[in-house]
Amino acid sequence: MLRELKGGAMHHQARQRKLRRRFVRGLIIVCVLIVSLGIVGGLIYTWMMGKRNPVTSSTVSVAPKKAQTTAPKHDENAPVGVAIEAMSPPMKAGANASISVKTKPKSACSITVTYKDGQKSTDAGLVPKNADEFGVVMWTWTVEVGRPVGSWPVEVTCAYKDKSGYGKEALVIIPA
């Protein structure tokens, strides 16, 4: 009855719709305000931090260090040492082996690989070489097919003037 006095059921439904629209509009406005305040607050915070701890950016380009191009000085009277720097891991016959040696710069070096019963390797890669200005000398050779399984000596001898040095490492051949 009260509804009828105030304009009926239609008027009540229209009023409810109007209230729902106002509520949704108010909710949207509150959300937009909260997001806006968050953005403004973030910008102010960033600006304040920049004032407190200014970021200095520079475009200084650092040139890479150049490799040492001059040979290091070495004592002419120092003894000749031979240090095996690297040797190939165990391998099968027919594979390539390599060794790297550090010695006195400009030394004349030779290498021998001796197998069972004193058989020496005849591979073309095992030729005498001179160490470079930094004292490094390397060899790479092919382990001949048919060489026996086992551990075999690789001997390097280096000489400079009237002094010489010797180094030895093992070449390990595994079954194929």
**The dihedral formed by the CA atoms of 145, 146, 149 and 150, expressed in degrees to the nearest 10:** -80
User: Domain segments of the chain: what residues?
Assistant: 2-52, 83-174
At residue 78, the pLDDT reads 83
At residue 95, the pLDDT reads 94
At residue 28, the pLDDT reads 93
Strands 96-102 and 150-160, sheet pairing? unpaired
Q: Do 137 and 99 contact (CB within 8 A), yes or no?
A: no
Chain Cα centroid distance, residue 100: 22
Which pLDDT tens digits describe the chain residue by residue (176 residues)? 455 555 566 777 888 888 889 999 999 999 999 999 989 988 888 877 777 766 555 555 566 666 666 666 777 788 899 999 999 999 999 999 999 999 999 999 999 999 988 899 999 999 999 999 999 999 999 999 989 999 999 999 999 999 999 999 999 999 98
The strand order across the sheet containing 83-87 reads: 83-87, 96-102, 136-142
When the candidates are 2.60.40.10, 2.160.10.10, 3.90.1570.10, 2.40.110.10, the CATH number that belongs to 83-174 is: 2.60.40.10
At residue 96, the pLDDT reads 95
